[in-house]
Amino acid sequence: MDLQRNSVGIGQRPALILVDMINGFTSSACPLGTDCPEVVEANAQLLAAFREQKLPVFFTTVVYHNDDQASVFRNRIQALNCLTPDSEWVQVDPALAPVEGESLIEKQWASSFFGTDLNAQLEQAGADSLVVTGLTTSGCVRATVVDGLQHNFPVAVPREAVGDRNPQAHEANLHDMHAKYADVMALQDVLASLRSL
């Protein structure tokens, strides 16, 4: 049975974090990826809304510059070794390309916060809450959501803007995040909240 919880929603200056919406995860041509045009489209809608409101936007990608970075993780999931700086797989999906002023954060592990300066950038941007999207729900999205909460941000997850290769893992992690760490919301409800700011 889930604990009683309160819905927190988004604040007056939410930041959008698009977790690993990169070619290596949005294309089944990469061993790490899956075709998910509906997730890309949901992210495009959110991106347009955040840009219209001039709210902070952050992208993440996974890049390995040498054999020492995340060596245990990469030994466990060897397909990660294709994420090298010169690879097309580490580039943001062209449907969601960052524009000037939007940060692209390189990470080596699951959480967008771990080993990066994301928290410092969020503080500098004056963010008071997070909208976390991307791939995959059970992996890097969940890790980022948990760390977002642990950095004391209210976190919202638009259901349609996250995805996973495993449908059961996707649903289980949405349920668990909503029970403990975030408000899992319909995309249209998030967009409505943004319009009301």
CA atoms of 59 and 23, how far apart (whole Å): 13
Residue 140 annotated to the active site: yes
Cβ atoms within 10 A of the Cβ of 16, count?
26
Active-site residue, from 30, 36, 82, 140: 140
Catalytic positions: 140
